[in-house]
Amino acid sequence: MKVIIQKDYDRMCQWAADHIIEAINSHKEERPFVLGLPTGSSPIGVYRKLVEANKAGKVTFKNVVTFNMDEYLGLPHEHDQSYWYFMHDNLFNHIDIPAENINILNGMTDDPEGECARYEEKIASYGGIDLFMGGSGVDGHIAFNEPYTSLNSRTGIRDLTEDTRIVNSRFFGNDPEKVPAQALSVGVGTVCDSREVLILINGHNKARALAHCVEGGVSSKWTISALQLHNNAVIACDEAACGELKVDTYRYFKDVYSREIL
Ligand code: GLP
């Protein structure tokens, strides 16, 4: 696992955006580049930089196919907190990606299990995901894979914990009851099958999650820790998120992977 430590949120986003652009631009195969994408506040700055780069002609999404991580169950597309709405508002409406290349789990389906099985099949039909970008919950969840979700899990229905509903209630008028109790989500196994995983972890409130992800044992209590078993995983983080790392760990990653950006 690589940990890239950047000074602040803006630089973390710039590093992640540059990394994604480089991956897309160096993809020379005819088949599309398959990109997994997250929602949440962490990736917003990355999306802004990808939009800028697309408008400046530095990258095109014409041959990129996307799969989003998750979607709340029961929220229609037009709901401003649906992940469908979020993705179009923050990214898809501003870049040159063909609409048919966008894949987001349908939270309004009357067949959630079938929807999840079809999603896995569709990912497989493209030959898997080249690069999956993600974030982390304060409890170390990846996508909506809450603590104790199997590290081999596949796309399926997830119950959200009370903690996650409280954290996410900031987008729902601070009322946890308004946050849907369930979501559809790719599994930890789905993410880890990707050829590369890039996780954004920023801010003091993610410091425990980062420490468990990097230094803790691999455990379904912190589903993000599954990345330790991936042979091409990168964490992009800011200094604020490093607060709970051991000094040795911090120094190691600063020295080995962040030298060029000191
Ligand atoms: C939600 C999403 C996750 C995301 C997490 C953190 O729970 N399902 O994919 O990583 O929020 O969000 P934020 O980046 O806003 O802290």
- What are the extents of the domains in the chain? 2-256
* Inter-residue contact 33 to 246 (CB < 8 Å): no
Question: Crossing angle for the helix pair 9-25 and 44-55, nearest 10 degrees?
Answer: 50
Percent of the chain topping pLDDT 90 = 96
Ligand 1 pocket check for 70: Cβ under 6 Å: yes
What mean pLDDT is predicted for residues 38-62?
Answer: 98
Enumerate the active-site residues: 70, 139, 141, 146
Residue 261 has pLDDT above 70, yes or no: no
pLDDT band at 220 (very low <50, low <70, confident <90, very high): very high
Q: Reply yes or no on domain 2-256 having CATH 3.40.50.1360.
A: yes
What mean pLDDT is predicted for residues 32-46?
Answer: 97
pLDDT at position 262 is 45
pLDDT at position 258 is 72
Residue nearest to atom 9 of ligand 1 (CA): 143
pLDDT at position 136 is 97
29 CA → ligand 1 middle, Å: 32
Q: What Rg do the C-alpha atoms of the chain give, in angstroms? A: 17
Percent of the chain topping pLDDT 70 = 98
**CA–CA distance, 178 with 167 (Å, rounded to integer):** 12
What mean pLDDT is predicted for residues 2-15?
Answer: 97
